[in-house]
Structure 1
């Protein structure tokens, strides 16, 4: 496999009440170019820490994180990061929010406008390009955040519970929107979620993590065709994979104790 993102025996600890908490205890994982991978696991298994390291927002205590074979040493335009909170500038319109990163990168005006318009069209917000965030629904705000990430043309999208705060219907709609966008503008996607159904519906592979310490418990292939549809979501094969992931997440054995 030609790896786009590689985690090599990554260890990360944090101080906690005068002791050391091991968020990641030697995680190794490879994600291929243009692959859509979701990560699920119980609270405290290090999912968000793993994504933060790929984003360059945190550093491992030992081991390494590589993108295209190059060690990650900080944030970069090759990686777009989308969090659960939209983090939009409330005084800027949708167009201005999407354009913001391109301005910082000193992209020429004509190219900046072209890429901004393309990204807004891609997420279906053309009619709201001149609207302020306060006039948008939660789903629209998240689509704006996704458009902003796409506008800078990243090779990798790192998404940490991006739909977690949305109602169930909006969440399903944005899952479909994200998959349509990914099918048109293939990127490598690492997507963190607590929702097992979401993990299976979106991914080509589901990484199930375990806690105490954070580690890869299982990697489950999702042999379902794209584009994903409601028919696939209701299929026996989807239910089978979903049950396999659910069991892997919620019926894990405790790690062996050191002698």
Structure 2
């Protein structure tokens, strides 16, 4: 599948080893995967399967031990403005307002003040934070902080959004609302998204495809298509079609990978 014309992210025989000698840990081994332009892909798997390692390789925050990772056909050699990264921790500047946080990357790009303001206000509105544009992060809830982080990532116009457990620290209700907000933003400002999660329901609800990883060493286990229509809603979460795909992903993660299966989350 590698080399398809609309491939945005390509892993080709990627191997990543941490450490040397007997204590060396193989985080990824012979990973081959294509993620396509405009696609929303979620990545799930047991702890230690290399999900975050793969994302950090795309981000340019980690190198490969063997193989190669490409974005738009170019080998990734380091971070770049074509890739926006959102982590579980919000990483906002506490002394800057929402608008100033969103403008920060634009300022680094050398954009004029009036243009920065226009772009920032567009994305602030897109994530529903217009009334809080002048608020400091300490005045925001966890979900609002993450919305600000998403707006900041979108504002610099990246080709790819890389999201590593971005909703992991949120309560269950806020997490569900943030999933809907993210999909609404993605539908309006389409980017290629690689989204890491431990939550099978979240993985299925968001994605076009779910990438299931297996651990020790980290490798591709299975790719599961999510043939569910967008926009998605709470009714879809309760549908037999959703349950069927969810169970398929769950089985791939916790049965085929040989992991001990935990109790299903409500």
- TM-score with structure 2 length normalisation? 0.94
- Matched residue, 2:157: 153
Counterpart of 1:5 in structure 2 is 9
Say if 2:19 is the partner of 1:15. yes
Structure-1 separation of matches of 2:257 and 2:49? 14
SS at 2:19's partner residue? strand
CA distance in 1, matches of 2:119, 2:258: 49
Structure 1: segments with no counterpart, 5+ residues: none
**What is the 5 A alignment of 1:119-138?**
119-138=123-142
Alpha-carbon distance in structure 1 between the residues aligned to 2:184 and 2:171:
20
Give the aligned partner of residue 47 of structure 1: 51
Cα displacement (A) at 1:254:
5.1
The CA distance in 2 between the partners of 1:203 and 1:162, in whole Å, is: 15
Aligned to 1:66: 70
Residue 227 of structure 2 corresponds to residue 223 of structure 1: yes
Distance 1:129 1:253, change over 3 A: closer
Instruction: Encode CA deviations 1:70-103: one digit per residue, 9 max, x unaligned.
Output: 1011111111000000001111110111111111
Aligned partner of 1:170 in structure 2 is 174
* Distance in 1 (alpha carbons) for counterparts of 2:258 and 2:21: 22
TM-score normalised by L of structure 1: 0.96
**Equivalent residue for 1:96, pick from 77, 100, 119:** 100
Q: Distance in 2 between matches of 1:35 and 1:23?
A: 25
Shift of 1:111: 1.5
Separation of aligned partners in 2, 1:9 and 1:121: 41
Q: Provide the aligned length of Structure 1 versus Structure 2.
A: 255
**Contact 2:10-2:32 within 8 A present in 1 as well:** yes
> C-alpha offsets along residues 199-228 of structure 1, whole Å, 9 cap, x if unaligned?
000000000000010000000000000001
Partner residue, 2:212: 208
